[in-house]
Each structure stands twice: as structure tokens, then as C-alpha cells.
Structure 1
Amino acid sequence: MATRSPRRVLVTGGAGNVAGWLARTVPGDVELHVTRHRTPVPVDVAAVATVHGAELTDAAATVELVRAVRPEVVVHTAYVQSDRAAIVDATASVAGAAADVGASLVHLSTDVVFAGDRPPYAEDAPTDPITDYGRWKVEAERAAREALPDVCTTRTSLVVSTDPMDRSTGALAAALATGQEVRLFHDELRQPIRADDLAAELWALVALDRARRAGAWHLPGPEHLSRLELGLRLAARLGLDAGPVVATSAADHATPRPRDPELMGARRVELGVRLRPVDG
């Protein structure tokens, strides 16, 4: 496996969980640039990266930004789960801008590009999403491939950080700390991954030769947990009373949800990252 890291890397979504851990674990030979939209990037991220304001849905502005930075690799982590434009249009803009300057692209996608009714899913399995978010992510993957046929598409599951807390973990902790009821599915399975472990795998991918990096990579966590099990484990990790946690069924949700989009990550073995339990 090639080990040389590109000298200049641009990471989108600098205020987000994954980008934050990419910054905290940035290799010493990487000149890191990150984008931000409305939310300021954390202080520790700004300390190690050059921060650029960006509206990634604006294709012309994104090209201008990427031309100014001239990265060798773009790692695209930015998204807003409820906003199609922030997923599809932004990815198309970022991929087009990367192609314009000859940069390669590592694109962060999701396990819910699969319906979750025929697990496990290999990296070459056909996508069949059943949620808007999953459909938009499939559109984004397609847009990235059209702009850059050798795009590296990484699919992962729930990305968890306890220090600092990711948004979902923070919401869980805030609710439990005040005794509010928390309803979690006992019959929806996911493969949560520690954000720092995912960052380590992404940096390992960035260090690969471009041709070797191309294609789909499945990067789930090492455990297969229900959302209920995950919530209880995180509550214990944070020292919080899990009494307010109530088990519910995904079958009762108003819209269909992927019940078990389990990913098989056959390619990841060459990345050499030891994955840890999500609450380890």
C-alpha cells in the first residue's frame, strides 16, 4: 500500500463530525483546507486548517474556490440530511470542481442507499433506497461518478463521537440528563463506527494511489447493533441514567425505514485500521 499523503487536501463540511476528526488526526505532511457554510468550524479544527467559506450548491463559486486551493484530493463530507440540494447539487458541484483542477475525490456516502431487506450488502450490490435521504445519496453518488469516473465512494453507517459529542449523541445526552423520554428502535440494526476510526480509514484511503483508491468502499463499524442497544451503550459510556429510554418498533414509523442495511467491507482490509467498539 502506498503511504505518501498528498501535500494539499480539501475537506468539505468543516463544522461536521467527520471533518472534525479528519482535522484532529491530519497527517503531519498534509496541508489541510476545510470549507464551512453557516456553522463556524470548531476551534481545534481552525487551528490546523485553512478555513474557506463556501456555498457548495453554487457550482461556479465552488470551482472558483477549488481553483484557488488547488488540492490533490478533495474529501467530500458536507451534507444536510433533509436538503436534497445540499446533498445532490453540492456533490455535483464539488465533483465538477475537482475534475476541473485534476484533483481526485473521496466521497462520503451512507448505508441507507440500500433498502435493508436483503443484508448483507457487498460493495458492488445494486442500490435500492427506500428513503428520500437514501435516494438523494444515490443521486449524489451518480453525479460524482459522472464527473469523475475514478471517484472513491465510501459508504458508512452511524458515525459516533463522544468527546466531542456528535449531534445525535449530544441530543441523547441532553435528553437523558433532564429525564426526558427517548424512544429508540429495537428492530432497526446499524453498524455504528467511531468517528476517529473512520477518519483513520479515510486518511488511509487518501494515501493510496488514485487508481487503487477508485470505486466503492464499505466502511461500517465492527458491531451490528439496534438503535436501542446503541443508545443504551452510549448512555453507559457517558455515565447517564438510561431509565428514560423506551424501546419502540421501526414498523410503527410513519414512513418506511431500512431495517438492516448491513455492509460487507471486503476492500477495507488493506487499509490496516483496527476498529474498536463504539463505546470503547
Structure 2
Amino acid sequence: MEALDRLASLIERYAIVDGTHETAIPRLMLVRSSRPTEPAHAIAEPALCLVAQGRKVAMLGDGIYRYDRARYLLVSADLPLIGHVTEASAERPYLCVRLGLDRTLLSSLVVEMAAGARPAPTGTPPGLMLTPVAAELADAVARLVALLDRPSDIPILAPLIEREVLYRLLTGDQHEQARHIAMSDGRLAQVNRAIDWIRRNFAEGFRIETVAAEAGMSASSLHEHFRAVTAMSPLQYQKRIRLQEARRLILAEGRDAAQAGFTVGYDSPSQFSREYARLFGAPPLRDVARIRSDPDGMLVA
């Protein structure tokens, strides 16, 4: 697809070293990796991830999502994912655009499109979806990134092209998923309120009834719909958030394992070490030493 070739060229121009790069365009990030990476844990926020070159795998619960030039990834909630680049080389690096989804802008577009629009979506969508890349979407994303060549145009034209990108999502194969993200009163919105509460209070114990009340759901309904979106229960989600935050504290702030475990809510150092090793494949000290020996091998976006 010509638009994806153009997009790959643009990403290479502005992401000249491996890593995740913020841009002058709000919510737009460029990702590059010149080699396959180790599985990395991260919290993915609602976003469109469009690959221009290479291939990546995202894992959520038991689900495996492979995306490349043919399929983009749409994230509809704050999800603790495991992701790694599976196809990349120095000659043909992995190149990807990540556009964070502005729910307010998405909602305003849904309202503008209301006349003659499809009925409101029902049910609870999964938090991750793969969709074939349409030429119109790829072209709009490429034109958005091309604005980096003309910084003075960004304040005026970037919002217009971003609206076009979101319009393509709302009218494409994944239109129901995109409309769920825009809704403020659907099941996805309720689950997102529960997710937000857990993320703000992850270090504290909670009763499922408390989170259900925050979401405006019954406890049984929360369990059902929370699992549909995140592929895990609220308590499993809390545990994943705790362990990922503990890893960050050890890596970025130099906390020892016991301090990090206590900070994120663990009373028992041995339990913390066991659960940490179960998730990351090694106890804290060995895991952190491995990451520090090869920091470029862990691409988190």
C-alpha cells in the first residue's frame, strides 16, 4: 500500500533511533525498533496502533494479537499488556504510529454523524481488536505524520486530520468498537470507570462491591463485563497493576524489592517475590539485572 510506504519513510525520518518518540502533534507517537524485542509489560491506554513496517505481538490474558501492515490494533481501555516486536532488522526496522484516542473528539464526531447513523452499539466489546487496514485510514495517518515536515501547519491542520482519522475508525470495519469508546453511558464506559478507580487505589485492598458501585453496576455484572474487556477479573487486574508499578519503582527509583512490594500493597515479601517471578519470569533482583543488561531490548509501546 503506497500510503504505508510513505508512512514508513516519514517514521524513519523522525524516529532515527530505537524507542518511542513523542512528537509535536498531540497524542501522536512514533515507535522504532531495529531488532526483535523481549516481551515487555506496560499499561496501554486507548489508542490506534498502525504498523508501517515489521510485526508486533500483544498479549492480553490468553489472547494473542499479531499486528502488522495488514492489520491495525485498536485499544479501547487502559489494559496491562505484554508486547514484543517479532519482525525487525537494521535494514528494515519495525516502524509504528500510535495515536491516543481523544474520547471527547470521538464523541463529538458521533453526535455530528447522528443523523442517519447506525443504531447505538450494544453489548461489551473486548479491550483489543484487530482490523484490516483500509487505504483511506492509512492515507489519513500518513498525512498527519507528514505535518511534522511543516511545524507551522500543525496547530491548524493536525486537529482536522485527526478528526478524519477518527471518522475513518467510526465508518470502517471497527465502527462499533470505536463508537463504544465514544459512549459515556455504555458497558465499556462503566468498565472504564472501574478501571480508573482500581488504578487510583491499586495499593489498597478493596471489596468488589465498592468497585461495582463506582462503575454503576452490580458485582456480578461487573465481573462479567470487566472480564469481557480486560480478559481478567478486577482482582487480577489490581495484582497486575501492583506488580508493574513495583517493577517501575525498582528500575526507575532504585527501591529495593521489599520497599517496592510494601509500597504497592504487599504485606508479605515472600508472596510479593513469588507473584513477581510468576508474572515477569524471574525474582525482582534477577529480572531487573536482566533488563539493565539490555535496556534497548524492552520496547514498551
The alignment's TM-score, normalised by the length of structure 2, stands at 0.29
Structure with bigger helix share is: 2
The alignment's TM-score, normalised by the length of structure 1, stands at 0.30
Structure with the greater alpha carbon radius of gyration: 2
